[in-house]
Chain A
């Protein structure tokens, strides 16, 4: 039953996606063009990469609002590293390690400190973003080595950017992990009923900690890609992204009550999101208007099933 319902949700997202392509290609002659579409992918890959582990976290019944702040902090450590002459591999390691560490802080607050995840991550979001501001002030770091640009600006083959390739690989990996392994099953069970999961012998806290750490790690990865693409670090980097990333996850059909959702849905939602951003950009409609669309979609996604259930 649930499976049927979810499939319907994903086919709906698919239809929205097709409608977008038709609409934008009829509105702009430049839309259906490999290079244009390749450019378009930069609109969502970094956010979508965080949405993957965040989807797992939300399915497990928790949430992380601090992802954008983690990006800022990781970007700042990389910027400082670069200023001290750290090379490209070292910068990559710095970014990932910062993200992982920040994720572990979130995980520890929720599992050891027993703080509700929404409060804990509002706190760490302020803390991480605050640290970025405290360290950097109004300075801008941009002494990145030339080779560092490869992550965010490089292409793997033809029009396929490294970012896009990473997203494709990780989407597949997360899909297999969540839907095909026993650890994925455990994540669903923990979200649907944490008490029964504990009674079934699952170490619920260990799963939750690992998922927070994973989300942090991917925020670190997104920081590497974004910093490399922009070539500079400001403390306000990725401001407001947490809402967009959470929006993608929920638009993808992941239930905020936990226990439901698919990676396929999240990937489709990321594509829908990316294409709308890009399409509206092509038509010179500013990004802020597009937020009306995402906001309305976000509410409709949860309101329509709730409304139908009331009948």
Chain B
């Protein structure tokens, strides 16, 4: 059987950072292919190329043997490629029925034919055995139901190819079962499906083929029946030996932070943890496990509903958070490096209110040296820097405040290897100086290589705790993914 969709040697870079360097992928009609890879392996870039959001720098895409180009998202739609996005792209202000037919409204004599639209929507939803009415506005649906709406929209377009981008990340067990039933039905109807998930149990339950990506390259593909899950994990995390984590030996000291039974409605519950001087506490989990929400609560951006957290007197200088999204939460991009580093330190730099730019540039220079930030000078705007250097600026602005506890949320997401190593080195040095670090990451080698202790979160709860000596990738993945 020849594949319906073929990608060969597809490349894509963003501002010098390679997201995909050699992507090869085949999708077959009547088959579900699981796309497997760590965060940053290039999965989401691949999805965006297949849905016409990004243009590849090179390589070839063929559908049914014909080379195709998709300069805009609607071109992909017209070629029969439907996407169920992780962040739901539905129109909250429109009814469920209309959502399925946006820009393809059935019409008679120029007027939208609501009766036919409604009837067709009902047929489509019935085909999917969906249990919600077509007349309600989409804003009233749950996330799972919105996924179903996106699938139904793809069906309305008569898509031959359906991409499901981590559709289960924020679904409950029951909703997943429902979704899988629908997906199987589509497979049996002869459609080619690409299913992206971190959860091996799901992958084995649903898919029949697999493709593993690592660092923007496809490393393996084939039939799932011929490969075991530990082999997949090895393919997924296997790294070139050259990558080192400069973990420094530290003296674990007195307790800095104690959290008991912390909870926040709808986000996480019953989280207890301690953090000691010199310690790096890794928190592993999948996207949507509640880690980021926990970090924000620990930092004080939002209040907990339940439980207590206590900073010990030793943690006098408090807590700092390097957030997950450096572009929107971490840095003020149009500002200079000096202004960014000064921002959380304004009270210290200007105790009586008056700013002195010499102090600011001095502070910036000091931290640019210590973190090896590559820039033309402290006055360079942060949005002109590479991702890695931007992240270093965000870390610098907090370290300059001399906190006792540093919370890092996905500190090396999407940055190159060199910057990654620098971030790891700084983190290690900070811990060795007698401070505590909480490092949230979906990057297994990073968690395993850097942490003294690891917690695994799933669906808002801590599901496992491992010491450095007992932790393995398999154990962490298993605890994180219902397996």
Residues of A bordering B, CB below 8 Å: 1-2, 180-186, 188-189, 192-193, 195-202, 259-260
B287 adjacent to chain A (CB < 8 Å):
no
A1 vs B339: C-alpha distance when bound (angstroms): 13
Interface size on B, residues (CB 8 A): 24
Contacts of B114 in A (CB 8 A): none
A272 vs B315: C-alpha distance when bound (angstroms): 55
Contacts of B349 in A (CB 8 A): 182
Whether the Cβ atoms of A182 and B339 lie closer than 8 Å is no
Whether the Cβ atoms of A195 and B329 lie closer than 8 Å is yes
Whether the Cβ atoms of A185 and B328 lie closer than 8 Å is no
Whether the Cβ atoms of B355 and A189 lie closer than 8 Å is no
A183 vs B346: C-alpha distance when bound (angstroms): 9
Which of B333, B335, B349: most chain A CB closer than 10 A? B335
Contacts of A260 in B (CB 8 A): 334
Whether the Cβ atoms of A181 and B344 lie closer than 8 Å is no
Shortest C-beta distance, A202 to chain B (Å), equals: 8
Contacts of B381 in A (CB 8 A): 1-2
Whether the Cβ atoms of A180 and B328 lie closer than 8 Å is no
Nearest-neighbor residue (CB-CB) of B320 within chain A: A201
A198 vs B299: C-alpha distance when bound (angstroms): 11
**A189-B339, A198-B301 known; 5 other A-B pairs, CB under 8 Å?**
A182-B350, A182-B355, A185-B339, A185-B342, A199-B329
Contacts of A198 in B (CB 8 A): 301
Whether the Cβ atoms of A180 and B343 lie closer than 8 Å is no
Q: Is the interface of B mostly helix, strand, loop or mixed?
A: mixed
Partner of A182, one of B301, B331, B347: B347
B353 adjacent to chain A (CB < 8 Å):
yes
Which residues of B324-343 have CB atoms within 8 Å of chain A's CB atoms?
Answer: 328-335, 339, 342-343
B14 adjacent to chain A (CB < 8 Å):
no
Whether the Cβ atoms of B344 and A201 lie closer than 8 Å is yes
Nearest-neighbor residue (CB-CB) of B330 within chain A: A196
B323 adjacent to chain A (CB < 8 Å):
yes
**Known A-B contacts A1-B381, A196-B328; A181 and B353 likewise in contact (beta carbons under 8 Å):** yes
Q: Which 5 A-B pairs have the closest CB atoms?
A: A182-B346, A182-B350, A181-B353, A193-B332, A200-B344
Shortest C-beta distance, A197 to chain B (Å), equals: 7
B397 adjacent to chain A (CB < 8 Å):
yes
A183 vs B349: C-alpha distance when bound (angstroms): 12
Whether the Cβ atoms of A180 and B355 lie closer than 8 Å is yes
Nearest-neighbor residue (CB-CB) of A3 within chain B: B379
B321 adjacent to chain A (CB < 8 Å):
yes
**Known A-B contacts A195-B328, A199-B329; A189 and B334 likewise in contact (beta carbons under 8 Å):** no
Whether the Cβ atoms of A197 and B332 lie closer than 8 Å is yes
**Known A-B contacts A182-B355, A199-B321; A189 and B350 likewise in contact (beta carbons under 8 Å):** no
Partner of A181, one of B321, B329, B330, B350: B350
Nearest-neighbor residue (CB-CB) of B381 within chain A: A1
A259 vs B344: C-alpha distance when bound (angstroms): 17
Shortest C-beta distance, A4 to chain B (Å), equals: 10
Contacts of B335 in A (CB 8 A): 188-189, 192
Can you list 28 pairs linking A and B with CB atoms under 8 Å apart? A2-B381, A180-B354, A182-B346, A182-B347, A182-B350, A182-B355, A183-B353, A184-B355, A185-B343, A185-B346, A186-B343, A186-B346, A189-B332, A189-B339, A192-B332, A192-B335, A193-B328, A195-B329, A196-B330, A196-B331, A196-B332, A197-B332, A199-B301, A199-B329, A201-B344, A202-B343, A259-B334, A260-B334
Whether the Cβ atoms of B353 and A182 lie closer than 8 Å is yes
Shortest C-beta distance, B351 to chain A (Å), equals: 9
Shortest C-beta distance, A207 to chain B (Å), equals: 12
A189 vs B334: C-alpha distance when bound (angstroms): 9
Contacts of A181 in B (CB 8 A): 350, 353-355
Contacts of B346 in A (CB 8 A): 182, 185-186
Contacts of A1 in B (CB 8 A): 381
Whether the Cβ atoms of B301 and A185 lie closer than 8 Å is no
A196 vs B162: C-alpha distance when bound (angstroms): 36
A186 vs B334: C-alpha distance when bound (angstroms): 14
Contacts of A2 in B (CB 8 A): 334, 381
A200 vs B398: C-alpha distance when bound (angstroms): 9
A1 vs B347: C-alpha distance when bound (angstroms): 26
Shortest C-beta distance, B91 to chain A (Å), equals: 21
Shortest C-beta distance, A1 to chain B (Å), equals: 6
Nearest-neighbor residue (CB-CB) of A184 within chain B: B355
